[in-house]
Amino acid sequence: MKKTILAAMMAGSILLAGCGGDDTAYKDGTYEGRSSVYHTDEGSDEGNGYGVVTITVTGGKIANCVYKTYEEDGTEKGEDYGKEDGRIANKDFYNKAQKANAACAEYANMLVQNGQLKGIDAISGATINYNEFVEAVNDALSQAKE
């Protein structure tokens, strides 16, 4: 009797371990999602730009993700993000901007590893990018749902 109960408990544990993930299947293809412009202060016209993800689905699963952020005018926030007139005028601001920029690749990699947004947390110093990322991913994956 004890062996039967133990076997049943072990089988139940194995089944439960497989139930934690999102088994959503997506249509194979490449999908682009975009966030809305994030405003730094509620009610303000001054924005912080927006995020764009490009997600590739292969075999029904997320196989690749690229995430980039842009200024409101469409300028990519790349290696010069945080500079003024091509130079670092404020080193602290530049370092924070580049940290937030580097988080984009980390968010994209975590999405591929997890296969879903659940379990991806905001990186300190890159919360705005995280919020834009989540919105852009949801936009892209809504297009990919079967």
d(CA 88, CA 26): 43
Q: What is the pLDDT along the chain (146 residues), one digit of tens a residue?
A: 444 333 333 444 333 333 334 567 899 999 999 999 987 666 555 668 999 999 999 999 999 999 999 999 999 999 999 999 999 999 999 999 999 999 999 999 999 999 999 999 999 989 999 999 999 999 999 999 96
Return the amino acid letter for 116: Q
Q: What is the pTM of this model?
A: 0.79
> Counting beta carbons within 10 angstroms of the beta carbon of residue 34, is it exposed (0 to 12), middle (13 to 18) or buried (19 or more)?
middle
Domains and CATH numbers, the chain: 24-144 (3.90.1010.20)
Q: Max alpha carbon distance in the chain (Å)?
A: 77
Give alpha helix (H) positions in the chain.
2-17, 91-114, 127-144
* Residue 131 near residue 38 (C-beta atoms within 8 A): yes
Q: How far is CA 70 from CA 73, 121, 129, in A?
A: 8, 21, 10
